[in-house]
Structure 1
Amino acid sequence: MHSLAPQPGIYASLAELIEMRHRVREVPLFSTPGRRSPLIGLHHSKLRGRGVDFDQVRVYQAGDDVRNIDWRVTARTQEPHTKLFHEERERPIFVLVEQSRQLFFGSSLMFKSVLAAQAAAFIGWAALGHNDRIGGLVFSDSEHHEIKPRRSKQSLLQLLNRLVRANTALHTEIQPNRDAFALALRRTREVLRPGSLVAVLCDERTLNDNAERQLALLARHIDLLLLPIADPLDRAMPAAGLLRFDQRGALLELDTHAAELRRTYRDRGEERGARWQRLAQKLRVPLLPLSTQYELVDQLRDHLAVQRQDIAP
């Protein structure tokens, strides 16, 4: 493990992740009394009855879901009545966060690994403030560490400590592991019970066929929130002339002024984003892509504004 002092934007610090607790009021990621998050209920139609508790029966009003009509009360009173539900409290929320070599890069405000750490902390503090149980799994190229979901600040701090340790251990000589993401997803399926919510924070480029299969299996019994992380250079190659790369004896030379090369590079980057879009639509789960180009809270606020527009009548 490299004993480098935390450098803002390059490495995350525990103080920075703890400080994130003051930002959760700015974005209602989860519903609170009087404020309903547009993320809640977006994909519960196929999982009816999971994640909600019965609240009361009242007279049917225009716009109510006819599937919730209470026929016994309706027959007894000769007036349509509908059942109301509220969100289940103390829901297990699990943050699956990547801290691999491929995240150890950034060309804008911060490295992708730092943005992932910030987002994990934000979700953790939001979940704790919502009275939910919070836990997670931090995975790298060579190992993973699990924190069992509990409704306690100690559990979240344990997760953040583990996250910082993985983050500050990152360096450019780590041997990459293409299967790390799929293995982490498989482990998540093994440890979580149905009805949990998993926030997936990973490099946009880490999605492959194996990982996609694991996400589809996970989505059968677990609610997902997908937050793939990208950098502007993942989508557009800089016009920097002739570049030479040397890694473990392998040499690569690129002419970044070549139009065909730049177009191919851009198309592959756009296809990665499109693949995440198709997967989210297929699984009917929210997709909130993040970029190192912007501040985390601003991005989350913008995403939720779009979600509200999408579900507005």
Structure 2
Amino acid sequence: MMTPCIEGVTTNLSELIALRQHIHKIPLFSTPQRRSLLLGHHHARLRGRGVDFDQVRPYQVGDDVRHVDWRVTARTREPHTKIFHEERERPIYLLVEQSPRLFFGTQRQFKSVLAAQAAALIGWVALEHCDRVGGLVFSQHQHQEVRPRRRQHSLLQFLQCLAQANQQLAQPLSSTTASSTTDSLSFALHRTREVLRPGSLVVLLCDERALTDLAEQQLKLLGRHLDLLLLPLSDPLDHRLPRAGLLDFTEQDSYLSLNTHDRSVRNRYRRYAEARQQRWVQLAHQLNTPHLPLSTQRGVIEQLHDYLTSTLGA
């Protein structure tokens, strides 16, 4: 029996499966007609016959005569041949946070739902591309892992874990869980380093606020041997406080009161948010990896489509 969900607040397996019909809108990988966001990452080191043009070089004995570049040959009066990248399948590992800090949203969906939907979309796209798909769903006290395989059953198993973790967020938190300060992202990244081989692609979907010093260190270690795609999630309220008077926040025995009419409070809050965003930008630059921040303001299909098509010039 399929568990019902509250639109924008929780999701379920049927919704994550239904996203498969939209994979043609997400140009994540290369085709003969389109350059990929991951071009340069998703190719074998061997050069040979493939779908993506690499370069022209002087003809060598054994080259396929069908790939002779006759224009260059006529211009230089020496035979030249076209060389292509040879693509290969590889593991795609979806690292998806489903912690209580993601169970929040002021716009069209909660961050936890946005993370689940983005992971499902990318998983379906990767499977369609004949890659092996798996991943790890993590929170403070638990993680569920599915090893990458090139089978629909494995992706469905992962999506089921993701849907279950998402719906558990709607359950009341115990005092132990609510007060936890575990760096769950660092643990998940460490686990990823243990199970993946070099050349795999790790797609990280986590709260924008999750990037600690330890997590950043783990990401840099991962980036030495693995490809990364960073998708930090945020809500507009993470970046700016509204002028709403005195706001009171409570969590177990903790209490915080903010006077949002105070301009200095709002400015300080905004500067902290800008620093978090800039930290992700700098990290992506250091790792030379794509960075696609997602917001609860817009649907995930629209965001991924617009970002990828504008990046690729499609």
TM-score between both structures, scaled by the size of structure 2: 0.86
Q: Which residue of 1 aligns with 2:81?
A: 81
Q: Which residue of 1 aligns with 2:193?
A: 189
Deviation (angstroms), 1:71: 7.3
In structure 1, which of residues 56, 80, 92 is the aligned counterpart of residue 49 of structure 2? 56
Q: 1:63-118 CA deviation, whole Å, 9 max, x = no partner?
A: 965xx74674599x943435211321x21111000000110100001000000000
Local SS of the residue matching 1:257: coil
* Residues 235/108 of structure 1: CA separation in 2 closer, same or farther (3 Å cut): same
Q: Which residue of 1 aligns with 2:139?
A: 140
1:74 touches 1:80 (CA, 8 Å); kept in 2?
no
Deviation (angstroms), 1:223: 0.5
- Listed as ranges, the matches of 1:155-166 within 5 Å are 155-166=154-165
Structure 1 runs of 4+ with >4 Å offset: 70-75
1:74 touches 1:81 (CA, 8 Å); kept in 2?
no
The one-letter code of the counterpart of 1:95 is L
Distance 1:100 1:152 in 2: 28
Local SS of the residue matching 1:28: coil
Deviation (angstroms), 1:41: 1.7
Local SS of the residue matching 2:244: coil
Q: Which residue of 1 aligns with 2:38?
A: 40
Local SS of the residue matching 2:241: coil
Q: Which residue of 1 aligns with 2:120?
A: 121
Q: 1:258-289 CA deviation, whole Å, 9 max, x = no partner?
A: 00000010111111111100000000000011
- Listed as ranges, the matches of 1:192-231 within 5 Å are 192-231=196-235
Q: Which residue of 2 aligns with 1:236?
A: 240
Instruction: Give me the identity figure in percent.
Output: 50
The one-letter code of the counterpart of 1:227 is L
Distance 1:196 1:69 in 2: 30
* Residues 32/64 of structure 1: CA separation in 2 closer, same or farther (3 Å cut): closer
* Residues 256/198 of structure 1: CA separation in 2 closer, same or farther (3 Å cut): same
Greater CA deviation, 215-224 or 241-250? 241-250
Distance 1:64 1:29 in 2: 19
Q: Which residue of 2 aligns with 1:102?
A: 101
Deviation (angstroms), 1:50: 5.4
Deviation (angstroms), 1:217: 0.5
Q: Which residue of 1 aligns with 2:290?
A: 286
2:43 touches 2:87 (CA, 8 Å); kept in 1?
no
Is 1:151 matched up with 2:156?
no
Distance 2:241 2:151 in 1: 44
Q: Which residue of 2 aligns with 1:167?
A: 166
2:8 touches 2:113 (CA, 8 Å); kept in 1?
yes
The one-letter code of the counterpart of 1:199 is V
- Listed as ranges, the matches of 1:12-27 within 5 Å are 12-27=11-26
The one-letter code of the counterpart of 1:274 is Q
* Residues 168/233 of structure 1: CA separation in 2 closer, same or farther (3 Å cut): same
1:51 touches 1:87 (CA, 8 Å); kept in 2?
yes
1:20 touches 1:122 (CA, 8 Å); kept in 2?
yes
Distance 1:20 1:91 in 2: 22
The one-letter code of the counterpart of 2:130 is N
Distance 2:44 2:233 in 1: 27
* Residues 33/52 of structure 1: CA separation in 2 closer, same or farther (3 Å cut): farther
Local SS of the residue matching 1:227: strand
Distance 1:167 1:27 in 2: 23
Q: Which consecutive unaligned segments of at least 5 residues does structure 2 have?
A: 64-72
The one-letter code of the counterpart of 1:243 is L
